[in-house]
Amino acid sequence: MSKVTLESLGCKLNQAEIEALADRLVGRGHEVVGSAAEADVYVLNTCTVTHIADRKSRQALRAARRSNPQLRVIAIGCYARRAPRDLARLGVVDAIVGHPEDDAVHTAIEGDGRVRTTGRTSDSPRGWSRTRSLVKIQEGCASFCSFCVVPYTRGPGHNRTPDDILAEINDRVARGHKEVVLTGTKLGDYRWNGHGSAGLPELVRRILAETKVERLRLSSLQPADLTPELLDLWHDSRLCPHLHLPLQSGSEVILRRMHRPYTLAEYEGAVRQARQAIPDLSITTDMLVGFPGEADREFEESYRFCESMGFAGIHVFQYSKRPGTPAATMPVQIDDKTRKQRSARMMALGKRSAGRFRSEFLGRTMPVLWEDLGGDGLWSGHTANYLRVYAKSDKRLAGKMLAVRVTGEYADGLGGEMVVGGYDG
DSSP symbol at 39: -
- As a whole number of angstroms, the distance between CA 122 and CA 18 comes to 7
Least gap, CB of 325 to ligand SF4 (angstroms): 9
- As a whole number of angstroms, the distance between CA 158 and CA 181 comes to 18
DSSP symbol at 232: G
Least gap, CB of 292 to ligand SF4 (angstroms): 15
Which residue from 119, 98, 84 is spatially nearest to 14, judged by alpha carbons? 98
| Interface of this chain with ligand SF4, residues 163 to 222, rule: CB under 6 A | 185-186
Backbone angles phi, psi at 75, to 5 degrees: -105, 130
Query: What length does the chain have?
Result: 425
Q: What is the amino acid identity at position 223?
A: P
Rule CB under 6 A: say whether 77 interacts with ligand SF4. Answer: no
Cβ atoms 419, 404 nearer than 8 A: yes
- As a whole number of angstroms, the distance between CA 317 and CA 339 comes to 9
Least gap, CB of 109 to ligand SF4 (angstroms): 29
Nearer to ligand SF4, 145 or 397 (CB): 145
Q: Which stretch binds ligand SF4 (CB under 6 A): 37-45, 145-153, 169-177, 364-372?
A: 145-153
Which residue from 109, 96, 115 is spatially nearest to 21, judged by alpha carbons? 109
Interface residue with ligand SF4 among 16, 141, 207, 226 (CB under 6 A) is 141
Least gap, CB of 319 to ligand SF4 (angstroms): 12
Rule CB under 6 A: say whether 13 interacts with ligand SF4. Answer: no
Rule CB under 6 A: say whether 145 interacts with ligand SF4. Answer: yes
Q: Which stretch binds ligand SF4 (CB under 6 A): 86-94, 120-128, 140-148, 338-346?
A: 140-148
Nearer to ligand SF4, 245 or 369 (CB): 245
Rule CB under 6 A: say whether 21 interacts with ligand SF4. Answer: no
Phi/psi-derived region of residue 377, left when phi > 0, alpha when psi is between -120 and 50, beta in every other case: left
Q: Where is 203: in which H helix or E strand?
A: helix 200-210
Burial of 370 (0-12, 13-18, 19+ CB in 10 A): buried
Least gap, CB of 200 to ligand SF4 (angstroms): 15
Nearer to ligand SF4, 98 or 151 (CB): 151
Count the site residues for ligand SF4 by CB under 6 A.
9
Least gap, CB of 54 to ligand SF4 (angstroms): 16
Nearer to ligand SF4, 330 or 398 (CB): 330
Q: How far is CA 92 from CA 77, 89, 96, in A?
A: 17, 8, 11
Nearer to ligand SF4, 123 or 371 (CB): 123
Rule CB under 6 A: say whether 144 interacts with ligand SF4. Answer: yes
Q: Three-state SS for 288? A: strand
- As a whole number of angstroms, the distance between CA 69 and CA 83 comes to 24
Rule CB under 6 A: say whether 150 interacts with ligand SF4. Answer: yes
Rule CB under 6 A: say whether 148 interacts with ligand SF4. Answer: yes
Nearer to ligand SF4, 185 or 385 (CB): 185
Residues contributing to the site for ligand SF4 (CB under 6 A): 141, 143-145, 148, 150-151, 185-186
